[in-house]
Amino acid sequence: MIYLDYAATTPIDPRVFDMMLPYFRESFGNPSSIHRYGQKAETAIESAREKVAAVLHCRADEIIFTSCGSESDNLALRGAALARRNASGEKWILTAHTEHHAVSKTAIQLEKEYGFQLEWLDLDEFGAVMPVSLSKAVCKDTALASVMYANNEIGTINPISELAEIAKANNILFHTDAVQAAAYLDVNVEKLGVDLMSLGGHKFYGPKGVGALYIRKGTKLIPHLTGGGQEFSLRAGTQNVPYIVGFAEALSLASEERGQRIAHVKPLRDQIIGRVLEEIPDALLTGHPENRLPNHASFVFKDVDGNLLLQLLDSAGFACSSGSACKTGNPEPSEVITSLGYSRDWALGSLRITLGVDSTPEHVDMFVNTLPGLVEKVRELK
């Protein structure tokens, strides 16, 4: 099997795994316990917090650990929107149809169940939220804007620092979901200017089941998980020590090795894009042609059943996706793809190929040699 779905998840880096191992058995204490076992676990968490803060260029007490990127998104949106309304009455939330469902469905729930007002930001042809779109949508009653750093389905990178600047000028909180971006883009929060930023460990060779949320000092949140006082009383529950240690190490390695990882995947990505567009009729690249994640190639094929194509690729030995891993198997076209204006006969035929550290030129050659025949076969079966 050749794995080409690194945007869905990544294998754990052996160096990360080695860092985690002692905290499963030898140093297994509860970080809230007073005794030495507990102190050792607490020290591990605080060291991890400092390591994450060093990558983000923020204070250690601005990092809280969660169970995943989706939880971080939920806490950021729900927590900030409720706190803002409680403090000063603002009730508008701004976001886009291209967001991960952890953001868009949370925003919809806030509108439906909590009485907030929701406005969807305009997109350009590549699925990016442009600064003019945010400027146009802002009103004096806006509490929060949330725009992802890089799109998981189409790879487009949003102009986050410019968007955050507009939000700041209008006294609006700004959140970005950087879950997909952190593997390859700079997550320096001072440069980005964001108030809240979500991260998930398994997208950059860390473990599944752990994430983080950056919260700029002074930003108020209502906790959505109450109980003990862990994570500065913003996220109750005994911390997952080995996973937190693994998360911090994986993020640190992603930051240190960013340049070489980009140099490895980008030529492979460009080869896939070039050959697919050249060799397959009625194929279009989705997302921005240049301003996209360096490991990410995504397409729509006219008159192709994307899920059937995935099954045939799997049988041929290739693991790919039709978009978000959360969308796989759904017969309806992705919201991200339809928001770009594609008609149903195009939108149903989406394919995402994402590369990683173990991808090789041989893998790419085998893939691009196999794909045209499979697309043709799916069209014949339609």
Active site residues: 326
Residue 32: which residues within 8 A CB-CB, separation 6 or more?
A: 38, 42, 228, 230, 238
CA–CA separation, 140 vs 166, rounded Å? 13
Q: List beta partners, residue 160.
A: none
Strand order in the sheet with 63-66: 63-66, 211-215, 196-200, 173-177, 142-146, 92-95, 117-120
Q: List beta partners, residue 150.
A: 157
CA 177 to chain centre: 6
Q: Are 264 and 357 in contact (CB under 8 A)?
A: yes
CA–CA separation, 94 vs 124, rounded Å? 16
Q: List beta partners, residue 119.
A: 94
Residue 285: which residues within 8 A CB-CB, separation 6 or more?
A: 273, 276, 277, 297, 298, 299
User: How, if at all, do strands 211-215 and 63-66 pair?
Assistant: antiparallel
Q: Are 94 and 146 in contact (CB under 8 A)?
A: yes
CA nearest neighbour of 187 among 167, 209, 213: 213
